[in-house]
Amino acid sequence: MHNWFISKVQHEKILENGMQKKVTEPYLIDALSWTEAEARTIEEIKPYVSGEFTIVDISRYPLNELFFNKNGDRFYKAVVAFIALDERSGSEKKTKVNMLAQASDLQIAKDVIVKGMEGTLVDYEIIEVKETLIMDVFPFSDTEVRTITL
């Protein structure tokens, strides 16, 4: 069971034009608690941020599945509905879940999700896919990560 948190980190960033600007960037962290999320954020961010930084917010991030794709440079959040038939009423019941896919564009994000869902016995439909502002994702270990190759 994963507990995902969004940690928003504020720091000075050098822009392409050479100017410095204060930015706030979200990072997705797998942690057991808010305290651990803060500690892991500091540990993971230190090598990438020069100078001082501040964690300005940590909040839970509801996520059921995460698909990495080595060729992706952005993260896309998908809302996927699992479809089950209610035998008593004969109607369809949809259960929505959140997924995150790493990809370089919207269509590839959809393809990553479809490939990641291969072998699923339940019918599903992708309701929505949109790009997030998430800069990077830090799971507990690489062995818990599903990497999708297209």
Convert the pLDDT of each residue in 30-68 to its tens digit: 999 999 999 999 999 999 888 899 999 999 999 999 999
Which of 42, 61, 80 is a domain's end point? 61
Tell me the three state secondary structure of residue 86: coil
Q: Are residues 8 and 18 in the same domain?
A: yes
Q: Number of structural domains, the chain?
A: 2
Q: What is the pTM of this model?
A: 0.89
Q: Are residues 2 and 39 in the same domain?
A: yes
Which of 35, 61, 87 is a domain's end point? 61
Q: Are residues 89 and 145 in the same domain?
A: yes
Owning domain of residue 16? 1-61
Instruction: Determine the Cα–Cα distance for residues 112 and 19; give it in Å rounded to an integer.
Output: 36
Predicted local confidence at residue 126, as pLDDT: 97
What CATH number has the domain bearing residue 33? 3.10.20
Asked whether the beta carbons of 6 and 134 are under 8 A apart, the reply is: yes
